[in-house]
Amino acid sequence: MGRDCSARLVLTGDTAVVEVDSVDLAAVTRSVQVHAAAGERPRLLLDLPLHQITVEGETQVAVTERVAQALISLGWTPPQPSG
C-alpha cells in the first residue's frame, strides 16, 4: 500500500516540518512514524485527523483546500465536478 514519494521531516523541539512531495502537511498531521530496517525500504506513516463516517444515501463532503492538497499528495484523485 502507498506509493513512492519524497518526504522531508524536521522534528526539533516545538517545531515540525512534514513535507511529502514538497507539500507541507505539518498543520494537518497528528503523528509521524518512520519504520526502517536493514535491507528494506523505509516506510513513513502519517496520521491525519480525518474521521470515518458511513452514510446510506447521498451526501456532499467538503474539505478545506489544505486537506485536499494533503490528500492529493498522498495519491487521492478528487472527483470532477458534474454537470
Question: Quick one: which of 51, 59, 82, 28 has its CA closest to 20?
Answer: 28
User: In the prediction, which pLDDT does 53 show?
Assistant: 62
- Which residue ranges make up each domain of the chain? 7-73
Rounded distance between C-alpha atoms, residue 31 and residue 36, angstroms: 17
What was the pLDDT predicted at 35?
A: 87
Q: Single out the residue of 21, 44, 49 nearest to residue 34, CA to CA.
A: 44
Give the per-residue pLDDT at 68: 82
pTM of the model: 0.57
More confident residue, 34 or 80: 34
Q: What is the end-to-end Cα distance of the chain in Å, rounded?
A: 33
In tens, the pLDDT along 14-68 reads 888 988 888 888 888 888 888 889 998 888 888 877 766 666 666 666 677 888 8
